[in-house]
Amino acid sequence: MEKVVIIGTGCAGLTAAIYTARANLAPLVLAGPMPGGLLTTTSIVENYPGFPEGVDGYDLMTRMQKQAERFGARVKFGSLEGVDLSSKPFRLNVDGENIEAQSVIIASGAGHRHIGLDSEQKLETRGVTYCATCDGALPMFRSQPLVVVGGGDSACEEAHYLTRFGSTVYLIHRRDQLRASKIMADRVLSNPKIKPVWDSVVTDILDPKINKVTAVRLRNLKTGAESELPCAGVFIAIGHIPNTQVFRGQITMDEDGYVQSTHGSQTNVEGVFVAGDCHDRVYRQAITAAGEGCAAAIDCERYLAGLHV
Ligand code: NAP
């Protein structure tokens, strides 16, 4: 039986792994469909303390994993297909394998929010993407007009990054003010290659019939005017949804699926702790996720000590 299973290998999960490993708990760390978490899809992380020149998101996560492994954490790749937290030991089904655990740290992060259009789904990987860092350099986007949807830090970061490849980057936002931090907003608004399109939403993406992106249909929310904007790529950055479906009905969550904690990182189930983006809908930074991972590890360690493990 495992003393602690950590679900997730983003900043929160790997920090929890470093701490629990150093407490000699030999954590089993489950890497789901996106090992390293969302940060691996970012280019340069400029606000993680200790890296005055910035650090590549993928590099940062690789280093965190190495650090955890150095102290005895074991990273296992696989999908968490089911959990039973109703009795102890807790049971987790990973790709059909049954794993028993005395404690669990949920750090399963969040996935990209979708607009919800039929055409968006049909054209995913055919010009519609949720990650500029992953896909921006593809030949189909070179020297072409590109569209970024969203008004937060992610959208601004994507738009800025895409100016390396696209001819013009249109930033489509549903309001007339960016949600992004001032430094990111200023960077975007002063870039001549980025053209904001305010008060507008994407109502359709063309053209699923030929399996490639040729344009977006827009509606101006203030005037109701409809228009078409030719482009070769649509980069969607409209926020995230917590990866917590598998815990539904087992653990207390809010209406959007964010796991709720009661005392520190403790959830409503004794022995189950939570950290990072699957729980935090306010701060959602790499450093706050790491901090929460640390707190969850300490709470978990104290819980196990109480059981005389
Ligand atoms: P976010 O801050 O939640 O912003 C989401 C944006 O998408 C908002 O502008 C929102 O519009 C818009 N939006 C949401 N649903 C929409 C829909 N259905 N249709 C059209 N637009 C929609 O998400 P984020 O930008 O991914 O950032 C998440 C967190 O990560 C934030 O705390 C951010 O600071 C952080 N982050 C930091 C960095 C950095 O510091 N380098 C980089 C990336 C992310 P409204 O504004 O109208 O709500």
- CB 215, CB 231: distance < 8 Å: yes
Q: Which of 84, 134, 176, 254 is catalytic?
A: 134
The model's pLDDT over 41-70, given as tens digits with 9 standing for 90+, comes to 776 788 899 999 999 999 999 999 999 999
Active site residue 156: no
Helices 57-70/11-22 angle, 10° precision: 20
Specify the pLDDT at position 34.
Answer: 84
The model's pLDDT over 215-224, given as tens digits with 9 standing for 90+, comes to 999 999 999 9
Specify the pLDDT at position 102.
Answer: 98
Contacts of 27 (CB under 8 A, 6+ apart): 2, 3, 4, 5, 6, 16, 17, 20, 21, 68, 72, 73, 74, 105
How many angstroms separate the alpha carbon of residue 111 from the centre of ligand 1?
A: 13
Specify the pLDDT at position 167.
Answer: 97
Specify the pLDDT at position 47.
Answer: 86
Pocket probe for ligand 1: among 172, 284, 287, the residue whose CB has the most ligand atoms within 8 Å is: 284
For ligand 1, atom 37, the nearest C-alpha belongs to 153
Helices 286-306/11-22 angle, 10° precision: 40
- Position in ligand 1 atom list of the atom nearest CA 201: 20
Average of pLDDT values for 78-92? Answer: 96
Query: Among 115-119, 129-133, 160-164, 288-292, where is mean pLDDT lowest?
Result: 129-133
Give the whole-number percent of the chain exceeding pLDDT 70. Answer: 99
Domains (range + CATH), the chain: 2-111+241-307 (3.50.50.60), 114-236 (3.50.50.60)
The model's pLDDT over 90-114, given as tens digits with 9 standing for 90+, comes to 999 999 999 999 999 999 999 999 9
212 half-sphere exposure, CB direction, 13 A CA radius: 7
How many angstroms separate the alpha carbon of residue 281 from the centre of ligand 1?
A: 11
How many angstroms separate the alpha carbon of residue 296 from the centre of ligand 1?
A: 26
Specify the pLDDT at position 241.
Answer: 93
For ligand 1, atom 31, the nearest C-alpha belongs to 284
Per-residue confidence at 309, pLDDT binned at 50, 70, 90?
Answer: low
Give the whole-number percent of the chain exceeding pLDDT 90. Answer: 88
Q: Which residue has the tokens 């606000």?
A: 47
Residue 250 predicted with pLDDT over 80: yes
Specify the pLDDT at position 62.
Answer: 96
